[in-house]
Amino acid sequence: MVNQILLTYNPSKVMAGVTASGDMSYYFLAASLNELLNINKVFRIALDNEGVLVKEIQHDKGLDSIIKQITSAEFIWHDFNLLYRQLGTEFRKDRNAQLKKVQDICEIIKKCGKLPKSHGIRDFLNSFDKVQVVRYLAEKEIPVPKTQEVDEYLLGEKKVPIVLKFNTGTRGSNIFFVESIDQLVKYFDRDFYREGIRQSLNVDLNQYDNTLPDKDDYHISEFIDSPSDHYTHFRILTFRDQILGAVLNYSSNKKSDETRIDEPYGKGIPGYIPNWTTSKESPMYLGWKSIISNHAAGATQIPITITSESKKITSYEQVILESHGINPSKPELPLRLYNFAKKVGIIFSKQGTSYLGQDWIMDKNGNFYCLEVNDWSGMDAFNVTHNHGNTDEREGVRVGYQILAKAIKNYQPE
């Protein structure tokens, strides 16, 4: 049982740290940081409800004191963003010193043997770069889609279709279904943008050059076609080897509709290139087919782990479940997927990441592939599995942290 949890940051000092460091982006940061702090408050309330005492690292007592606090901690919760911003009070404008101290604390946690008893220590995989994560999973014998660097793919057989992904994208953004090599080549072609910008803006490319797509920031992933007439994937929320909740996401569009991405056209400003290849109004439009099944992008979630408070499964969704080999009258994760998810949870918990949102896809032959893992996963799925399908994201966060706090409380450190 965990009776006490140690935060590596002090929530009350975060905004003071931003102000002290003279961060020029203060006004842009304030809203997102306040949101993180509000979520943090919800988490602390949930821990309190479970009888878990929350302590905060005292940074003003020196390194030896920090080591002592970490050594005696039952469980450690780390938030890079909040700690980094808080340290502005200590290092003012020296951002390198702020970053170094965050890394030093991670190193202390490692040296004290606390990685398996912590969450949020992500430096071992360069902030969860998706390519590194996929390769790491493959090394651990977890099935993943074939993944290549863009240049590596272009020098090979160049089979299509494939999926082009931004290395650190979130919420289904910057994921493109490539049906022809021409689409891929144009996406990274400076001359293609130069001509498009001339037509659209009548300005020189130079002011945009540093923000155009760079092949080093993307990777190629094998396209895996899921069952049913929708694009689908499983979202599985885990704490170590415990499955906290699972849903099946299905896209808002049907495959048979051949839906193409068409976003509102923004002509852009220097440093930003919105929707240039995804708006039909743009001279640079590439006609990407929409394959996204992320809830943040409009997909619907079907509960797989069922509780008395789960969202009701419609007759239409029952057919989708059946196509995935799942009994709609008694949904549950397929055993092989269940075991894979538990294994991934253990793999990452040993490295200091105990809470995960795992994304898995099933192909038409019943094989499973891990698409990615997220260490600060959204909790909207808990509204589906535990909150009657409530559409308020804040409610999902509240319910999710209650479930997570209970899992932390019941965790038995070895």
Which DSSP string corresponds to 257-286?
Answer: GT-B--PPP---BTTB-TTTTT-TTSTT--
C-alpha span between 73 and 242 (Å, rounded): 22
- The torsion angles phi and psi of 102, rounded to 5 degrees, stand at -60, -45
Asked whether residue 393 falls in the same domain as residue 296, the answer is yes
Terminal Cα distance for the chain, rounded: 10
- Structural domain ending residue among the three candidates 121, 153, 179: 121
Asked whether residue 354 falls in the same domain as residue 398, the answer is yes
Asked whether residue 115 falls in the same domain as residue 186, the answer is no
Among 172, 220, 127, smallest CA distance to 359 is for 172
3-state SS assignment for residue 54: strand
Asked if omega into 283 is within 30° of 0 (cis), the reply is no
pTM for the full model?
0.93
- Structural domain ending residue among the three candidates 75, 95, 121: 121
Asked whether residue 334 falls in the same domain as residue 383, the answer is yes
Asked whether residue 171 falls in the same domain as residue 303, the answer is yes
Asked whether residue 345 falls in the same domain as residue 206, the answer is yes
Q: At 396, which CATH number? A: 3.30.470.20
Question: For position 21, what pLDDT does the model report?
Answer: 86
Question: For position 271, what pLDDT does the model report?
Answer: 43
What is the domain range of residue 66? 4-121
Question: For position 285, what pLDDT does the model report?
Answer: 92
Which tokens hold the place of 385? Answer: 């599995």
CB 247, CB 235: distance < 8 Å:
yes
Asked whether residue 298 falls in the same domain as residue 385, the answer is yes
Question: For position 22, what pLDDT does the model report?
Answer: 81
CA 52 to the chain's CA centroid: 27
- Structural domain ending residue among the three candidates 87, 121, 155: 121
Asked whether residue 135 falls in the same domain as residue 101, the answer is no
Asked whether residue 205 falls in the same domain as residue 69, the answer is no
C-alpha span between 273 and 171 (Å, rounded): 18
C-alpha span between 204 and 130 (Å, rounded): 33
- The torsion angles phi and psi of 77, rounded to 5 degrees, stand at -115, 120
Number of independent structural domains in the chain: 2
Asked whether residue 247 falls in the same domain as residue 230, the answer is yes
Which tokens hold the place of 126? Answer: 């360069």
Which tokens hold the place of 143? Answer: 């099935």
pLDDT digit string (tens) for the chain, length 414 residues: 999 999 999 999 999 998 888 876 766 677 788 889 999 999 999 999 999 999 999 998 889 999 999 999 999 999 988 999 999 999 988 989 998 999 899 999 999 999 999 999 876 554 557 788 888 999 999 999 999 999 999 999 899 999 999 887 666 578 999 999 999 999 999 888 888 877 776 666 666 666 678 899 899 999 999 999 999 999 999 999 999 999 999 999 999 999 999 887 765 544 445 578 988 888 889 999 999 999 988 899 999 999 999 999 999 999 999 999 999 999 999 999 999 999 999 999 999 999 999 999 999 999 999 999 988 888 999 999 999 999 898 999 999 999 999 999 999 876
Which tokens hold the place of 175? Answer: 């994921």
Question: For position 23, what pLDDT does the model report?
Answer: 73
Asked whether residue 110 falls in the same domain as residue 171, the answer is no
C-alpha span between 215 and 137 (Å, rounded): 23
CB 69, CB 9: distance < 8 Å:
no
Among 133, 110, 413, 357, smallest CA distance to 239 is for 357
C-alpha span between 322 and 328 (Å, rounded): 7
Question: For position 270, what pLDDT does the model report?
Answer: 43
Asked whether residue 140 falls in the same domain as residue 31, the answer is no
Dihedral sign for Cα 333, 336, 339, 343, please.
negative
